[in-house]
Amino acid sequence: MSNQLYDLAEQLEKAIRACHDFQQLKQAYEAVRQDEMAYRLFTNFRDAQMRMHEKQLTGAEIFPEEVEHAQKAMILAQQNEKLSQLMALEQRMSMLLADIQRIAMKPLEELYRSFMETE
Amino acid sequence: MSNQLYDLAEQLEKAIRACHDFQQLKQAYEAVRQDEMAYRLFTNFRDAQMRMHEKQLTGAEIFPEEVEHAQKAMILAQQNEKLSQLMALEQRMSMLLADIQRIAMKPLEELYRSFMETE
Ligand SMILES: [Ca+2]
Ligand SMILES: [Ca+2]
C-alpha cells in the first residue's frame, strides 16, 4: 500500500478511537459489562440473533418458536435502560462509519458508474 | 460527524483517487471501454454473474445451463488480455481497500473483542 494511504488509515483509526461517539460507546459497553442483569439480557439477545443468522446463512429451517424467542429477547433487551442506550450508540456509530465509508469509496463508485453509463 | 473524521475521510478519498493503483484501474477500464470485443466479453460476464447473484439472493432456482453459461463467460473474459489485466487490478484495489478498512475498524473490533472476552 502507498505510504500516504497507510498513514491516513492510521490517522483515521486514531481519530475514531478518540472521537466522542466511540468514547460514549465504550462507556456504554463498560456499564453493561458491570451490570449482571443487563449483561445477561444482552448475551441472550445476541445469541438468539446469531443462531438465527447462522441458520439463514446455511439455509437451515428457522422454527416459529425461535423467531418468537429472539423477538422476546430483543424486547427485554430494549426495555433495559443500559441496553437501549448501548443500542442507540451502536446505531450512531454505524451511521458515522457508513458516512466515512461512503466518502472514501466515492472514487471507485464514480469509476464504476461512468463505465456503466457508456453502455 | 466530527469535523476531524470528516476531514480525514475526504483526505482518504483524495489519496485513493490520486494513488497509482486507482489510476491504473481507471486506465484499464478506459482500455476495455474502447475495445468493442473486450467490452462485450466484460458485459456478458458481468450480466451472467449478476443474474446468478440475484437468483441466489431471492432463492430462485439456478439452472445448470446458467452455471455453465456463466463459467464460459468468465473463461472467455479471462482469456482477453485487457480483461485479465482489469481483473488483476480490481483484485489489487480490493485488497488495498480491505487493508484500509481493517486499520480504520480496529478500535471497534477491539471494543467488541474485549467485551466478548469477559464472558
Ligand atoms: Ca458479571
Ligand atoms: Ca463501443
First to last CA, chain A: 32
Interhelix angle B64-79/B36-58, nearest 10 degrees: 150
- Cell representation of residue B105: 475498524
Q: Is A27 helix (H, G, I), strand (E, B) or coil?
A: helix
Chain A residues whose beta carbon lies within 8 Å of the beta carbon of residue B29: 111, 115
**pLDDT at residue B119 tops 70:** no
The ipTM estimated for the assembled molecules is 0.82
The residues spanned by each domain of chain A are 3-117
Residues 6 or more apart whose Cβ sits within 8 Å of residue A22 = A16, A93, B107, B108, B111
Say if the Cβ atoms of B15 and A2 lie within 8 Å. yes
Mutate to test the interface with A, among B6, B10, B12 (most CBs of A within 10 A): B12
Between B119 and B116, the higher pLDDT residue = B116
Q: What is the pLDDT of residue A117?
A: 76
Q: How far is CA A2 from CA A81, A112, B7, B68, B99, in A?
A: 45, 22, 19, 39, 11
DSSP state, residue A105 = T
What is the four-CA torsion angle of A47, A50, A54, A56, rounded to 10 degrees?
A: 120
Q: What is the pLDDT of residue B115?
A: 86
State mean pLDDT over B9-27: 97
d(CA B5, CA A9): 11
Average per-residue pLDDT in chain B?
Answer: 93
User: What band does B92 get if pLDDT is binned at 50, 70 and 90?
Assistant: very high
Q: How far is CA B68 from CA A51, A57, A92, B49, B84, in A?
A: 34, 24, 45, 11, 20
Q: Is A24 helix (H, G, I), strand (E, B) or coil?
A: helix
In this predicted model, what pLDDT tens digit does every residue of B23-58 receive, in sequence order?
999 999 999 999 999 999 999 999 999 999 999 888
* CB-closest option in A2, A33, A97 to B115: A33
Q: Is A12 helix (H, G, I), strand (E, B) or coil?
A: helix
Question: CATH code for A3-117?
Answer: 1.20.1500.10
Residue B30 backbone phi and psi in degrees, to 5 = -65, -40
d(CA B32, CA B45): 13
State mean pLDDT over A36-52: 94
Average per-residue pLDDT in chain A?
Answer: 93
State mean pLDDT over B103-114: 94
* CB-closest option in B13, B97, B101 to A106: B13
What is the four-CA torsion angle of A45, A46, A50, A51, rounded to 10 degrees?
A: -40
- For chain B, the farthest-separated pair of C-alpha atoms sits apart, in whole angstroms, at 59
Q: What is the pLDDT of residue B1?
A: 54
Say if the Cβ atoms of A6 and B105 lie within 8 Å. no
Say if the Cβ atoms of B108 and A115 lie within 8 Å. no
Judged by a CB distance cut-off of 8 A, whether residue A85 touches chain B is: no
In this predicted model, what pLDDT tens digit does every residue of A20-43 receive, in sequence order?
999 999 999 999 999 999 999 999
State mean pLDDT over B106-117: 90
